[in-house]
Structure 1
């Protein structure tokens, strides 16, 4: 049988192997603008750098009273995305500790200033970051009792035995600590003789920068807690957040060796008060 010429050409094309066909162009996926990177060439940086960010978190952290009274502490690992604008998004707890502490860790992260965004291949990109938020109980923590009614004490009221001044800045007026000690709001908080400027000047003049820290070029603020006794002496000194390389030990030594303070006063009588301040180490 003889096929028409056009039909024969069609049949030949239909039976030709696929390898003989012209290969199609491959389409490579383009970068997704919404992609979140875990590792980048130039990571996102918080305002003030790592140390400045750590200082911000420490100074703006509000230890939940209920968590303090329950003696809850630990490090909450928080993960979030630094957007291209530098804002913080998708904040969540990666390693929970306790509901109240987890919630406070999220709050303080969300309230922090914007970051400098990450860069990958010369372009601004989104990056996922994980930051630890530590909650450390000081000795005697949980002793501040919230009392909404101000002025609950009356002039001339006897000073409670073993009275301890509430932490400066709280709304505590009168209360009882778990250990039975009375908590009161002092009429005047403890302060260094000559004021804060004189105290920090003394710290700077008497500071002995640890050789190891100097060699490693480590500097920063070491937060220290201590108690100002009724006679003005400084006791119960402890470092809240350790830096290592000898800085912690030097900070404790300085506070212990510092001149006496003017104690807190209640109804004209000196009482002890727990205080906290940073000891600055700068090369």
Structure 2
């Protein structure tokens, strides 16, 4: 009887203490592993400056590969990467390929892009896997309609004169294009190109990205390089654009409008 009494007393004390102990216990989420990568989180990672600014970055900095441009390649490259806890990105891969040149350009854009605000999950900062599509749309109007948004464009922006509030950005019904077509334009560039002696001696090759405005009458103005190579190549690219034939201007609702264009001038030894 003594043993039973002692056991019963101990059991009663444990039962009496258990509710109080549970009442004071605080349930917490398990801490996230520093090496785990999340696909779904409570608060996703976002580019610093916002999504719109990031889309503008992609549109402004995209350099359409000359080989893809000449071959008429357009479409979307899907890139996947990890936004680290620091906001930097890593593990860049192409999960949907378009062409080797476009894939490489898409990865260059992502790697060189701005930092992100990292994701948050279960009360802490975590690593997140992010997918961003990069769309390549022919800037000369060949093969489809003009781009609709900053992330999808390759340096094209049409401007129609409007009120004193400034130019109105529109999507032309008929984008500007060289007289005779895209192929004829690049053939003319290659035929008339003069490789600068200094660049030849230094074995410098690559592409100069040229920006210019196609006026309503098809003439070209505001010609300037936006990506330079130096050693006389930038000046030669400017000369080529200035000397090139007129273009067929863009049209919006049947009326000619001014259109900004960005295209590469390739220099290859």
Return the match for 1:235 from 249, 253, 264.
249
Q: Could you say which structure has the higher helix fraction? A: 2
Which stretches in structure 1 are left out of the alignment for 5+ residues? 1-27, 152-162, 175-182, 190-227, 238-251, 262-273, 278-283
Distance (whole Å) between structure 2 residues aligned to residue 168 and residue 50 of structure 1 = 29
Identify the residue that residue 108 of structure 2 maps to in structure 1: 107
Larger radius of gyration: 1
| Residue deviations 1:16-47 (CA, integer Å, cap 9, x gap) | xxxxxxxxxxxx98632110000111100102
Name the TM-score, length of structure 1 as normaliser.
0.48
Corresponding residue for 2:195? 149
For 1:59 and 1:131, locate their aligned partners in 2 and report how far apart those are by CA, in whole Å. 16
Instruction: Summarize the alignment of residues 25-36 of structure 1 with structure 2, pairs less than 5 Å apart.
Output: 31-36=32-37
Alignment TM-score, normalising by the size of structure 2: 0.50
Matched, 1:84 2:98: no
> Runs of 4+ in structure 1 displaced over 6 angstroms?
none
**Equivalences, count:** 160
1:153-177 Cα shifts (integer Å, max 9, x gaps):
xxxxxxxxxx986974274848xxx
Structure 1 residues 63 and 257: alpha-carbon distance in aligned structure 2, compared to 1, 3 A threshold: closer
Residues 47, 54 of structure 2: 8 Å contact kept: yes
- The Cα RMSD (Å) is 3.7
The 3-state SS of whatever aligns with 1:84 is coil
Deviation at 1:122, TM superposition (A): 1.7
Give the conservation status (yes or no) of the 8 Å contact 2:77–2:97.
Answer: yes
Between the two structures, name the one with larger relative contact order (CA 8 Å, sep ≥ 6): 2
State the distance in 1 between where 2:219 and 2:196 align.
Answer: 18
Give the whole-Å Cα distance in 1 for the aligned partners of 2:123 and 2:86: 15
What stretches of structure 2 of length at least 5 have no aligned partner? 1-28, 142-176, 198-217, 228-233, 263-269
